[in-house]
Amino acid sequence: MNAVTTRAGLLALAVALSACSVLEGDKIDYKSAAKGSTLEVPPDLTQLSRDSRYNVPGGAVSAAALQASQAAQPSGTANAAATQLGDVRIEREGNKRWLVIDRPADKLWEPVRDFWLENGFTLDTDQANLGIMETDWAENRAKLPQDLIRSTLGKVIDSLYSTGERDRFRTRLERNAKGGTEIYITHRGMVEVYSNTSKDQTVWQPRAADPELETEFLRRLMVRLGVSQEQSKAVVAAAAAPAAKSATVSTVNNVPVVQISEGFDRAWRRVGVALDRTGFTVEDRNRNEGLYFVRYVAPNADKKETGFFGKLFTRTPAAVPPLKYRIVVRSQGESTTVSVLNEAGAPESSANAERIVRVIADDLK
């Protein structure tokens, strides 16, 4: 108890003395995150195990390809920033952005994997056969106050300082019809909050996904793939943003569904990003049949995630076994319906299906 009291007192002192410092919120630094302990948050959906059997060489954008792309720009747009450099371009729809690269996915896997390791992350999921990698929960240390206390005491007891936030990023590589690859980066966040009025216990709660943070890592990935810093900033700023159609929840034949007023290509893309952002474990997908195969753990409203000290003195409860579902995307012209099937492929009308449909719809709005 003395150790706990001492640590709490030091933390309170550090916070008080750093109250007037300026937070470096415009910077990103996850370098130290890979060295710290992982955040064990019980999400609604379980995670795939790591699989690093697939190693392939990467490539870079050549100077010749870059010059050819610039020369191909119409004369009327000479003063405007291009949205493509070399074989890399960025596309945008609403608050969602993604990269389109004229290279096969197997040539991009290793460079993208190295990108996350270079940015201070470890990978919890590394599934090249599925085209999905996901980082561990990490802390953006650039958000910490850079004051006198931090610069002296922080170097000795670095774990004393915490932002109270953790971030996780999922990257999905998907082949397109032209032989190239689309890359999506999605963010999930957690925040630590007090769970009682005496403020001696904390719990971790989800916080909203940050599209701007997703965009920043897409821009950095462009640089990793051969685009300069200045060019990447110009390309991201120039990306047009067509309005995304709204999604509504309804019931068809006693089955909960999401209805979207757009065609299959855009609906498939948006549903995939929604699944990534909301933490679904996608075991497989079949674009031709409009199917995402996912694993789901129903949330327990009575279950609380304890803070740091609570974890030291309590036993971790047994994990709830996941259920397997299929998210089906069906389109007729410019109208798309998204529904949930059970593991056998039959329509699902349970409370879990209702929750899944509403989670997807909330992200699509």
Position 220 in a domain: yes
Position 126 in a domain: yes
Q: What is the mean pLDDT of residues 146-155?
A: 57
CATH number where 99 lies = 3.30.530.50
Residue 317 and residue 236 share a domain: no
Residue 233 and residue 295 share a domain: no
What pLDDT, in 10s, does the model give residues 294-321?
998 766 544 444 454 444 444 555 556 7
Helix axes 264-277, 351-364, angle to 10 degrees: 110
Position 28 in a domain: no
Percentage of the chain beyond pLDDT 90 is 43
User: Sign of the CA dihedral 329, 332, 334, 337?
Assistant: negative
| pLDDT of the residue at 279 | 79
Distance CA 32, CA 138 (A): 9
pLDDT-based confidence at residue 116 (cuts at 50, 70, 90): very high
Residue 56 and residue 143 share a domain: yes
Residue 253 and residue 228 share a domain: no
Residue 218 and residue 266 share a domain: no
User: Encoding tokens for residue 335?
Assistant: 């109208």
Residue 363 and residue 250 share a domain: yes
Lowest-confidence region among 5-14, 166-175, 246-255: 5-14
Position 324 in a domain: yes
Number of domains into which the chain is organized: 2
Helix (H, G, I), strand (E, B) or coil at 306: strand
Residue 52 and residue 148 share a domain: yes
Distance CA 239, CA 77 (A): 14
**Among candidates 190, 224, 183, which has minimal Cα distance to 207?**
190
CATH number where 259 lies = 3.30.310.170
What pLDDT, in 10s, does the model give residues 254-310?
999 999 999 999 899 999 999 998 878 888 999 999 999 999 876 654 444 445 444
User: Encoding tokens for residue 352?
Assistant: 């879990």
Interacting residues of 305 by C-beta distance below 8 A, sequence separation 6+: 41, 42, 203, 204
In this predicted structure, the answer to whether residue 58 has a pLDDT above a threshold of 60 is: no
Distance CA 339, CA 256 (A): 7
Position 22 in a domain: no
In this predicted structure, the answer to whether residue 351 has a pLDDT above a threshold of 70 is: yes
Helix (H, G, I), strand (E, B) or coil at 346: coil
Q: What is the mean pLDDT of residues 28-36?
A: 58
Position 96 in a domain: yes
| pLDDT of the residue at 322 | 81
Domain final residue pick, 205, 224, 240? 240
Q: Which domain holds residue 58?
A: 40-240
Residue 277 and residue 232 share a domain: no
Position 122 in a domain: yes
Residue 249 and residue 211 share a domain: no
Q: 363 φ, ψ to 5°?
A: -75, -30
Distance CA 178, CA 193 (A): 47
In this predicted structure, the answer to whether residue 327 has a pLDDT above a threshold of 60 is: yes
What pLDDT, in 10s, does the model give residues 163-172?
789 999 999 9
